[in-house]
């Protein structure tokens, strides 16, 4: 069911949600959080589709905030709120409100969103594109326990990661980090099997890939070894190589949904390692609402240039391997 409201307010939107529930005989309980998506018209459809798919695992009230600006400096849009309320099959496993804020009302989006939040439920804010420079200080971000950005969706991912590191606050996360969960899990498991010391690392990926950058910083933080980044044709991260005294631990995924793992002294094996959809990434992030300390440490780690020779110093102390708790984060 869809209910269109023009030139409305938060009170009328709440009444429309209740009316839609009653018409369909839906209970008012069962939703576990409020997901606020701040986006533009161009990206609203894909973002909402991903949120609806994720809601089957995390039933939620989804609020899509679209700020409508004037098309030219001379044009002025009168402050107005239009809304589209969706309940039932049109809203996944929860309920959805698409909010279009015209004119100066866009600067006061928090005053529109606040009365629509589920009472006594966590709030997650997701910026698919154009995240604020300091998400925790954004008026909408300040309402949330969890703030999700995506450095992959910007023109300059390295600059975006630098801004995230400078402004990090507990509750911040980025989908560039979420994309690494399968890689980190497999690497941690491989090191558990190899029982050896890592002395160097190489990350291969397409140019300026933020996930590859975060993976390299994770190695620096967890292993304290030099990391080399190699540019390939992609897509995304294509290979990781960990140098050890016994040989090279390597995961290759040049393309497709599978990768090949090689550990010294063991037969190589094929692993499932597909590029996950946005819905799968959002669903993973909604499983945890506590601060991700491993992400914070990796984000702040400083990459140093690799040493001039590939052989490590014999006197170098052994570095700890990433633990399973890091891989599961």
Q: Is residue 242 part of a domain?
A: yes
Residues 78 and 187 both lie in one domain: no
d(CA 7, CA 273): 47
In tens, the pLDDT along 239-287 reads 999 999 999 999 999 888 999 999 999 999 999 999 999 999 999 999 9
Q: Which of 6, 293, 35 is CA-nearest to residue 140? A: 35
Instruction: Please give the mean pLDDT across all residues of the chain.
Output: 88
**C-alpha count within 13 angstroms, C-beta hemisphere, residue 325:** 4
322 and 201 fall within a common domain: yes
Q: Is residue 156 part of a domain?
A: no
Clarify whether residues 113 and 198 are in a common domain: no
CB 163 within 8 A of CB 132: no
Together in a domain, 141 and 197: no
Same domain, 31 and 128: yes
Q: Is 75 exposed, middle or buried, given 0-12, 13-18 or 19+ CB atoms closer than 10 A? A: exposed
Q: Is residue 154 part of a domain?
A: no
Please check whether residues 323 and 186 belong to one and the same domain.
yes
Question: How many domains does the chain divide into?
Answer: 2
Distance, in Å, from the CA atom of 239 to the CA atom of 218, rounded to the nearest integer, reads: 15
Does any domain span residue 239?
yes
Helix boundaries (H) for 66-174: 109-113, 157-167
Residues 6 or more apart whose CB falls under 8 angstroms from that of 95 comprise 17, 20, 21, 31, 61, 62, 85, 86, 87
- Both tokens of residue 271? 């692993």
Residue 282: inside a domain: no
Q: Looking at the domain assignment, is residue 238 inside a domain?
A: yes
Do 25 and 107 lie in one domain? The reply is yes
Q: Which of 149, 166, 200 is the last residue of a domain?
A: 149
pLDDT of the chain, 329 residues: tens digit per residue: 899 999 999 999 999 998 888 887 776 557 889 999 999 999 999 999 999 999 989 899 999 999 987 665 555 678 899 999 998 877 777 899 999 999 889 889 999 999 999 999 999 999 999 999 999 999 999 999 999 999 999 999 999 999 999 999 999 999 999 999 999 999 999 999 988 999 999 999 999 999 999 999 999 999 999 999 999 988 899 999 999 999 999 999 988 899 999 999 999 999 999 999 999 999 999 998 899 999 999 999 987 654 443 434 444 444 444 543 333 33
172 assigned to some structural domain: no
Same domain for 120 and 65: yes
Rounded Cα gap, residues 219 and 158, in angstroms: 17
Q: Which domain holds residue 216?
A: 181-275+301-307+318-327
Is residue 107 located within the same domain as residue 204?
A: no
| Same domain as 10, residue 132 | yes
Per-residue exposure over 176-201, b if at least 16 CB sit within 10 Å of its own CB, e if not? bbbbbebbbbbbbebbeebebbbbbb
For residues 120 and 186, state if they share a domain.
no
Q: Are residues 131 and 201 in the same domain?
A: no
Place of tokens 């498991």: 189
Q: Are 152 and 178 in contact (CB under 8 A)?
A: no
Q: Is 155 contained in some domain?
A: no
């Amino acid at each position: 069911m869809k209910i269109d409201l023009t030139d409305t307010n938060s009170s009328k939107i709440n009444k429309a949600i209740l009316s839609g529930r009653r018409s369909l005989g839906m209970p008012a309980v069962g939703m576990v959080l409020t997901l606020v998506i701040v986006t533009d018209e161009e990206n609203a459809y894909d973002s909402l589709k991903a949120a609806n798919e994720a809601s089957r695992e995390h039933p939620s009230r989804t609020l899509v905030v679209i700020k409508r600006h004037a098309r030219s400096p001379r044009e002025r849009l009168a402050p107005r709120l239009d809304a589209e309320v969706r309940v039932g099959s049109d809203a996944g496993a929860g309920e959805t409100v698409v909010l279009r804020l015209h004119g100066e009302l866009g600067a006061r989006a928090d005053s529109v969103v606040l009365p629509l939040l589920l009472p006594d439920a966590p709030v997650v804010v997701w910026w698919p594109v154009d995240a604020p420079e300091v998400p925790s200080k954004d008026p909408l971000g300040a309402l949330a326990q969890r703030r999700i950005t995506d450095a992959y969706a910007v023109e300059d991912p390295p600059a975006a990661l630098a801004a995230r590191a400078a402004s990090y606050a507990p509750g911040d996360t980025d989908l560039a980090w979420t994309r690494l969960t399968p890689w980190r899990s497999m690497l941690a498991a491989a090191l558990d099997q190899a029982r050896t010391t890592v002395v160097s690392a190489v990350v291969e990926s397409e140019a300026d890939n933020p996930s590859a950058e975060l993976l390299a910083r994770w190695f620096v933080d967890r292993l304290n070894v030099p990391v080399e980044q190699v540019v390939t044709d992609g897509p995304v991260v294509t290979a990781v190589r960990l140098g050890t005294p016994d040989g090279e631990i390597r995961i290759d995924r040049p393309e497709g949904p599978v990768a090949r793992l090689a550990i010294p002294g063991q037969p190589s094996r094929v692993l499932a390692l597909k590029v996950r959809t946005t819905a799968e990434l959002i669903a993973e992030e909604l499983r945890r609402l506590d601060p991700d300390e491993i992400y914070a440490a990796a984000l702040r780690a400083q990459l140093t240039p690799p040493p001039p020779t590939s052989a490590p110093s014999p006197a170098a102390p052994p570095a700890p391997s990433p633990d399973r708790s890091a891989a599961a984060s």
